[in-house]
A and B are shown apart, each in its own frame.
Chain A
Amino acid sequence: MRAAALASLALIAAVAGSGATAWAQLPSGRGVLLPLQDRVGEAKLAALTETLLRQELEARADLVESVNVRAVLRSMRVRDASYESLDRLAVLAERLEVEWFFLATLHEARAGRKPQRQDGGSTDSQRIEDSGDTPQVVLSARVLRSDSPELWWSGFDGASGRDRERVFGLGDVETLGELMQDTVKGLVARAAEPREARKRTRLRPREGGYLRSGFGPSPPERVAVIPLDSVASRDPSASAEVATAALLTTLGDFGFNVLLPGLVQSIRQESGQIQYGGASRAEWEALAREGGARWIATGTVETYGRGQGRTPDPRVAFSLRFLDTSDGRIDWSNGLARTGKDTASVFGRGRIYSTGALTYAMMQSLIGELRVESRLAKTPRGN
């Protein structure tokens, strides 16, 4: 009875504690905004996003002009600096005369049905998928330093035009451009300013998890994230990338030190035995030895998409696991399957409309659960 009460108190303390951290985010010195990684394939929207990011960053940090950036990236054959090794990042920093990089990826953009143009066409390009009656955006960003093997900051946002909906539909954002502006503003603000951790939606796992007794990752230990694999029936690589970006951000949110994705990739390549969908012995030993990683986090996206109907609900399911790099054993595993309606209370308040936002909320719940379970597992029994 007493043990159960103590466990409940530890749970409450852990949950309360998770919301109290504050960080100063953007590094000092000069930085550069690297070209947006556009997974939507819509040049106008990508250009708008990049302009908005630049405006917001310039107001908060010492940002260099981006005139030569593309030329330098092209000469070094850099497509996505997130996946460059530390050595290559150092060369890039030297050539651009900067100390840090800001990278953003536009994962998804879906236009709402309104407003229609006079000629009857949509205001947004046909290449952007129609999502019902509300626009949606999934955007992630990272700040890297050329002299640090860890991610300085990582941010993720899945937004929908109905996130701030009040009674009678007031507060809706109806255009993709307007939603993008809000999303970029929020993301850069979180990167630039000391902040309280974000309000989290708690979605208690119900599928049953596993924690090796007496073990479990806890911050600020260093974690290497191996990109999640995806078995979702539609666009598996995109859903895996979204979930990986949400995981990187959530681990940072909870105070873990996250190894640079580029460093993880280069160490895995050098180990000579990359396994899709997991880590081989050669990989986890190399990540521990060369990257100093205490844990490896990875997982699988099982469902990523939307249901049916006029305002289709997002549906997401995935599982995560943590490997101990000292012996390669899976020390923690858990999974979640949710729809946007699962978070709704009476009158539909709290409902999630975006697949990205649902993924992020689920990721926060799972990592939150991990933190609580790890603390409980490490608490000496009988005290």
Chain B
Amino acid sequence: MKDSRPIAAASIAIALLTLLGCSSNLATTEFTHPQFDFGFVERVAVLPLEDLADDRQAGVRATRVLITELLASGAVDVVEPGEVQAVADRVVRGRGVPSTKEVIELGRELGVQAVMVGSVTQSEVLRSGAVSVPVVTLDLHLLETETGAAVWAVTHTERGSGAAAKWLGTGAEPISATTRKCVQNALRSLFG
């Protein structure tokens, strides 16, 4: 009688690889300034993230989630978004990314040591047959407000539950859940 164990093991391995393949994320690209002392940053302002995706709510959604996650990290204090918007309207005047001079001015007006800026480059639900996979890509930059230089940057792509969730009968997760995961994973390199 032939031993069927290698075949079974191979089948399980293929199934696991398929599952992993369906949920894998692109590698995160990140930059951390080697000389900057992050302990100096106590208070951060988050400027509204630019929305470069087709989803009109993507920028606002990611900005809100980013603020909550920064606060939840316990590492920094975050300025109330309404106050940031009021000051940014005056200083940046509706342009997406502030100049070096404007970053310094934002720091002085808001009393922050760093400003978080960035964009949502992708926020969509990809469909393949009956399977829906939400995908979110974020690009974040932390600018210190003494010189306006970038001290940290990250680009991260997150794929939400897709095939596995479908097979288990739970359905695809909402795009906001994928956005939250994307923000959490993007911030991981900042807070560990």
Contact A209 B72 (CB under 8 A): yes
Could you tell me the distance in whole angstroms from the C-beta of A206 to the nearest C-beta in chain B? 11
List the B side residues contacting A309 at CB < 8 Å.
Answer: 171
Q: Which residue among B60, B82, B171 has the maximum number of chain A CB atoms within 10 Å of its CB? A: B82
Contact A333 B86 (CB under 8 A): no
Cα A207 to Cα B82 in complex, Å, equals: 23
Interface presence of A279 (CB below 8 A): yes
Contact A275 B174 (CB under 8 A): no
Interface presence of A315 (CB below 8 A): yes
List the B side residues contacting A337 at CB < 8 Å.
Answer: 176-177, 180
Name B48's closest neighbour in chain A (CB-CB).
A277
Contact A302 B61 (CB under 8 A): yes
Q: A329-B77, A337-B180 are in contact. Are A210 and B72 (CB under 8 A)?
A: yes
Interface code B69-83, partner A: CB below 8 Å = 1, 0 otherwise?
101111001111111
Cα A280 to Cα B71 in complex, Å, equals: 18
Interface presence of B33 (CB below 8 A): no
Q: Of A231, A308, A317, which is within 8 A of B57 by CB? A: A231
Name A317's closest neighbour in chain B (CB-CB).
B176
Q: Which residue among B61, B80, B175 has the maximum number of chain A CB atoms within 10 Å of its CB? A: B80
Contact B171 A302 (CB under 8 A): no
Interface presence of B65 (CB below 8 A): yes
Contact A280 B82 (CB under 8 A): yes
Give chain A's interface residue range (CB within 8 Å of chain B).
35 or more
List the B side residues contacting A273 at CB < 8 Å.
Answer: 86
How many chain B residues touch A (CB < 8 A): the figure is: 30
Interface presence of A128 (CB below 8 A): no
List the B side residues contacting A282 at CB < 8 Å.
Answer: 86
Contact B83 A279 (CB under 8 A): yes
Cα A337 to Cα B184 in complex, Å, equals: 15
Contact A278 B80 (CB under 8 A): yes
Interface code A204-242, partner B: CB below 8 Å = 1, 0 otherwise?
000111101000000000000010010111001000000
Name A208's closest neighbour in chain B (CB-CB).
B72
List the A side residues contacting B100 at CB < 8 Å.
Answer: none
Q: A207-B180, A302-B64 are in contact. Are A308 and B80 (CB under 8 A)?
A: no
Interface presence of B32 (CB below 8 A): no
Contact B171 A280 (CB under 8 A): no
Interface presence of A50 (CB below 8 A): no
Interface code B114-128, partner A: CB below 8 Å = 1, 0 otherwise?
000000000000000
Q: Of A231, A278, A328, which is within 8 A of B85 by CB? A: A278
Interface presence of A249 (CB below 8 A): no
Interface presence of B18 (CB below 8 A): no
Chain B interface (Cβ < 8 Å from any Cβ of A): 55, 57, 60-61, 64-65, 67-69, 71-74, 77-86, 171, 174-177, 179-180
Q: Beyond the given A275-B83, A303-B177, A334-B68, please list 5 additional residue pairs across the A-B interface where CB-CB is below 8 A.
A: A231-B61, A233-B174, A278-B83, A308-B171, A317-B180
A-B contact pairs, 18 of them (CB 8 A): A207-B68, A207-B180, A212-B77, A231-B57, A232-B176, A233-B174, A273-B86, A275-B85, A280-B85, A282-B86, A284-B80, A303-B174, A307-B171, A317-B180, A319-B65, A321-B80, A330-B79, A335-B68
Chain A interface (Cβ < 8 Å from any Cβ of B): 207-210, 212, 226, 229, 231-233, 236, 273, 275-284, 300, 302-303, 305, 307-309, 315, 317, 319, 321, 323, 328-330, 333-335, 337
